[in-house]
Structure 1
Amino acid sequence: MDSSTAPGLGSLTWVPAAERPELLAAPVAAALGALTAPAWVAEIDPDLADTAAFAEAYGVPLEVSANCVVVAARRAGQTELAVCLVPATTRADVNGLVRRHLGARKVSFAPQDVAVAESGMEYGGITPLGLPPSWPVLVDPAVAAADLVVVGSGTRGSKLAVSGAALAALPAAEVLEGLGRPVAEPPRPAPAAPAERAPDDRDVGWGERPEELSAADRRYLEDRPPHWGSD
């Protein structure tokens, strides 16, 4: 798309981010100049900032959104913070690929209060732009290749749209193959097996006469008194 034309994503009104700095967290506004392509911002309801709610409310496909996940990597008694930028349709391979790549003994999601305090951004709005320079920014190839990616703005009250290449070109960014793993669908329940019928759970004997009578049944019918009537 033409970088000078506002994106037509969902029902939102996108404007150049530099024209609405009040919609951005302070570190994000200060870092706009580090981008190699224009960034656009759209104001949203803060209660709809979470990716799934945002996509449904504003008609923005999940495929063009990316999640920025803050992780804490521990090794040799030290903790390092990093972020993983993955398509919203995937999950970051935190315990496998990320742990090995960072050379950490253990990697887990960073506590909310730590992520907020260290990034200077609101939880649910943390974005790779404007993070502390010591934080590694790991980017999934699908994000890096996207013409336009919707990410946080540092606050819950807006979203940024910027090219994937511009995010991958940030100073601390590194494209990491296999970072985002498809979200597995929950297993479907197996069909219920038909209930087994008890040996005496048959229609025969409950008001219906079997086509083939046993010898005992025939003798019973032949010997019954006349006043019993017939059926």
Structure 2
Amino acid sequence: MTLASIGSLTWLPAVEHPELLAPGTYAALLTWAALDPSVAERVAVAEIDPELADTAALTAAYDLPPAASANCVVVAGRRSGEERIAAAVVLATTRADVNSAVKRLLDVRKASFLSTDRATEESAMEYGGITPVGLPSAWRVLVDSRVVVADPADGGATDPSGGVVIIGSGLRRSKIALPGSLLAGLPGAEVVEDLAID
């Protein structure tokens, strides 16, 4: 599956379209591309109707494979008075295992979703568009191993080179598409087995 063939959206090279990315996301993308030149060719962005940013609406409106979309949720917990925050990236067909896996990884007694106000303010991203690319450096970025599997629909059996995952752009009016295998190489990302549950 090539970027141009995903659904009915018009995919463009993300590094060439800062107007379709949150400023922090664009800056992080440029930094990442400097470390890995393939990023410039393999990360795409497409404009969408912001009213259709939620996965179910997006999938139906633009004829996207349901298993290709991934969500990024922000989770926080405290230990010894210190707040620990992580962004968990999981396939949209699953949900982050906040009460077990994320809590264990953060090493906190209780983990819960960060409030929408804090998540958007501190990430400098829009609600419904939060993406792992360009988050605050103090936040951990946890990526479920199923997100980086070649083709989420078939467990990677037919395309070991890496299938495409659709994630947020930092804005509600666009989406990023990139190979899941490339997302695993996002600076600071940690690939985690069983981060999500069905």
Match of 1:24 in 2: 21
Contact 2:50 2:172 in 1 (8 A): yes
2:134 equivalent to 1:130:
yes
Which of 100, 115, 120 is residue 119 of structure 2 equivalent to?
Answer: 115
- Superposition TM-score, scaled by structure 2 size: 0.86
What amino acid does structure 1 have at the position aligned with 2:7?
G
Higher relative contact order (CA 8 A, sep 6+): 2
Query: Which stretch shows the higher mean deviation, 73-82 or 58-67?
Result: 73-82
Find the residue that maps to 1:7 and give its secondary structure. helix
Which of 24, 49, 67 is residue 53 of structure 2 equivalent to?
Answer: 49
State the identity as a percent: 56
User: 4+ residue runs of structure 1 moved beyond 6 angstroms?
Assistant: none
What amino acid does structure 1 have at the position aligned with 2:126?
E
After superposition, where does 1:159-178 map in structure 2 within 5 Å?
159-178=175-194
Give the length in aligned residue pairs: 179
After superposition, where does 1:75-94 map in structure 2 within 5 Å?
75-94=79-98
Match of 1:15 in 2: 12
After superposition, where does 1:1-231 map in structure 2 within 5 Å?
6-33=3-30, 34-35=32-33, 36=36, 37=39, 38-146=42-150, 147-182=163-198
What amino acid does structure 2 have at the position aligned with 1:62?
P
Tell me, in whole angstroms, the C-alpha distance in 2 between the residues paired with 1:165 and 1:133: 22
User: CA shift at 1:32, angstroms?
Assistant: 1.2
Which structure is larger by alpha-carbon Rg, 1 or 2?
A: 1
User: CA shift at 1:180, angstroms?
Assistant: 1.2
Contact 2:88 2:96 in 1 (8 A): yes
Find the residue that maps to 1:124 and give its secondary structure. coil
Contact 1:134 1:172 in 2 (8 A): no
Tell me, in whole angstroms, the C-alpha distance in 2 between the residues paired with 1:19 and 1:171: 20
Find the residue that maps to 1:125 and give its secondary structure. coil
User: CA shift at 1:145, angstroms?
Assistant: 2.0
Tell me, in whole angstroms, the C-alpha distance in 1 between the residues paired with 2:136 and 2:185: 16
CA RMSD in angstroms, aligned pairs only: 1.3
Tell me, in whole angstroms, the C-alpha distance in 1 between the residues paired with 2:168 and 2:89: 11
What amino acid does structure 1 have at the position aligned with 2:105?
H
Tell me, in whole angstroms, the C-alpha distance in 1 between the residues paired with 2:98 and 2:73: 9
Find the residue that maps to 2:100 and give its secondary structure. helix
Cα deviation per residue 1:111-130 (whole Å; 9 max; x = unaligned)?
00100111010010000001
- Superposition TM-score, scaled by structure 1 size: 0.74
What amino acid does structure 1 have at the position aligned with 2:179?
S
Tell me, in whole angstroms, the C-alpha distance in 2 between the residues paired with 1:165 and 1:9: 17
What amino acid does structure 2 have at the position aligned with 1:15?
L
Higher relative strand content: 2
Tell me, in whole angstroms, the C-alpha distance in 2 between the residues paired with 1:124 and 1:73: 22
